[in-house]
Amino acid sequence: MGQPVKTAFGVIRCDEMKPGVKSIADVRKELENALSVELLDKLAKTERRFTPVKYTGLVPPPEPGMRSRE
């Protein structure tokens, strides 16, 4: 099938390929959910750069060294 590929997880080798048994209709909802999450995450990361943050005092500010979600 092809040459072995070395990855961080070890060596991967494909010995044979078999056709799938699921149709696109079988996995459509699962794909839509996964893509929706991915697209929303990309959109949020993009928009976060242009969104000003103003501390109002209602919530304490983040502590120094606190990890960001990015």
How do the domains of the chain map onto residue ranges?
25-49
Kindly tell me if the per-residue pLDDT of 15 is higher than 90: no
Contacts of 11 (CB under 8 A, 6+ apart): 4, 5
What is the pTM (predicted TM-score) of this model? 0.45
Kindly tell me if the per-residue pLDDT of 69 is higher than 70: no
pLDDT band at 68 (very low <50, low <70, confident <90, very high): low
When the pLDDT of each residue in the chain is averaged and rounded to a whole number, the result is 86
SS3 label, residue 17: coil
Q: pLDDT tens digits, residue range 28-56?
A: 999 999 999 999 999 999 998 888 878 78
Residue corresponding to tokens 């120094």: 64
Label the pairing between strands 5-7 and 10-12: antiparallel
